[in-house]
Amino acid sequence: MNRKAKETVYFSLFRICAVLVVLALVVLVGYIATGGLERLSVEFLTAMPHHANTEGGIFPAIVGTFLLMLIVVAVSVPIGVMSAIYLVEYESRSWMGRIFKLTIYNLAGVPSIVYGLLGLGIFVAYLGFGFSLISAGLTLSIMTLPLMISAAREAIAAVPSSVREASLAMGATKWQTIWHHVLPYALPGIFTGIILSVSRAAGETAPLMLTGVATSLQRLPDGFFDSFMALPYHIYFMATQSSNLLATRPIQYATALVLLLLVLGMNLIAIVMRKRYRDKYKW
């Protein structure tokens, strides 16, 4: 085979792989949409479930998942970004920094059910938060931290050292340099981390089952220490535990569709923010 032909073959191969990925998403969304659209209505989105979830809406599950996402953003973003700053700016070469990095990589590989057990032990039992929104939210936050730290660490490390030198050489302190330069320029990458973390947290089921998700609530949680419903668990429950599996199938599809849209919506916000900062600080 001559060089030109080889070039064509490899290029086609790469293109096919890329198309496959897009195809997977299209099929997934299409399948869920065709199954779920008929059940989707304003009532479905805003009403409480009744008759063992077979009728009514999924409003408490939407609110529950949304609140979980908010807790994850509020907890794992600041801790993740600050850890990343520490790792890059203060301990990048020391043995301590290396141990931290190794720990984070290993934490990223721990199965989510194990995080669920951890949450059950620490937040539910030891700290006495009970089976609640806060226990589940904190468990998901810990689970997404490695992802958040890795993304933020890469973004911060990608800021050229010449920029840091320029700022320091004008008499800025290390913190001023980080605050005025490193962090703003790393923001697009940090937003990527937020997208990944929140999406991962929104879709998790296993940790929720151990920390306070409810199968059915005819009301919204009355605070962070109350139990809650969540979209992924609702899908799991309707698909496996429901009394009439066939009759509830449209509900499963519609719930999956809502979860997908909620995650996409949150991601869209992060993507818009990322675009804004990319345009603002170009190098």
Partner 1 sequence: MTTAIHTEDLHVYFDKNHALKGVNMDIQKNEVTSVIGPSGCGKSTFIRCINRMNDLIPSCTVKGKIIVDGQDINDDAVDVVDVRRRIGMVFQKPNPFPKSIYENVAYAPRLHGVAEEVNGKIRRRKHTKKELDEIVERSLRRAALWEEVKDRLEKGGLSLSGGQQQRLCIARTLSIHPEIILFDEPCSALDPIATAKIEDLLVDLKKDYTVVIVTHSMQQAARISNRTAFFYLGDLIEMGDTKQIFERPHEELTEQYITGRMG
Query: Which span sits near partner 1 by CB under 8 A: 59-67, 160-168, 224-232, 260-268?
Result: 160-168
Closest to partner 1 by CB, 92 vs 216, is 92
| Per-residue interface string for the shown chain with partner 1, residues 182-201, x marking contact by CB under 8 A | ---x----------------
Selected binder of partner 1 within 6, 15, 50, 180 (CB under 8 A): 180
Closest to partner 1 by CB, 96 vs 110, is 96
- Least Å distance, CB 97 to partner 1, is 11
Q: Is 170 in the site for partner 1 (CB under 8 A)?
A: yes
| Number of residues in contact with partner 1 under rule CB under 8 A | 20
Selected binder of partner 1 within 167, 197, 227, 248 (CB under 8 A): 167
Distances (CA, A) of 84 to 78, 110, 186, 198: 10, 20, 11, 18
Q: Is 239 in the site for partner 1 (CB under 8 A)?
A: no
- Least Å distance, CB 183 to partner 1, is 13
Count other Cβ atoms within 10 Å, centred on residue 236: 19
Q: Is 153 in the site for partner 1 (CB under 8 A)?
A: no
Selected binder of partner 1 within 110, 166, 245, 264 (CB under 8 A): 166
Selected binder of partner 1 within 8, 41, 176, 243 (CB under 8 A): 176
The DSSP annotation for the chain comes to --HHHHHHHHHHHHHHHHHHHHHHHHHHHHHHHHHHTTT--HHHHHSPEETTTTEE--HHHHHHHHHHHHHHHHHHHHHHHHHHHIIIIISSSSHHHHHHHHHHHHHHTS-HHHHHHHHIIIIIIIS---SSHHHHHHHHHHHHHHHHHHHHHHHHHTS-HHHHHHHHHTT--HHHHIIIIIHHHHHHHHHHHHHHHHHHHHH--HHHHHHTB-S--SS--SSTTS-B--HHHHHHHHHHT-S-HHHHHHHHHHHHHHHHHHHHHHHHHHHHHHHHHHHHS--
Selected binder of partner 1 within 93, 95, 222, 223 (CB under 8 A): 93
Selected binder of partner 1 within 47, 157, 163, 196 (CB under 8 A): 163
Q: Is 172 in the site for partner 1 (CB under 8 A)?
A: yes
The whole-angstrom separation of Cα 134 and Cα 115 is 14
Query: Which span sits near partner 1 by CB under 8 A: 60-68, 132-140, 211-219, 275-283?
Result: 275-283
Q: Is 95 in the site for partner 1 (CB under 8 A)?
A: no
Contacts to partner 1 by CB under 8 A: 93, 160, 162-163, 165-173, 176, 180-181, 185, 281-283
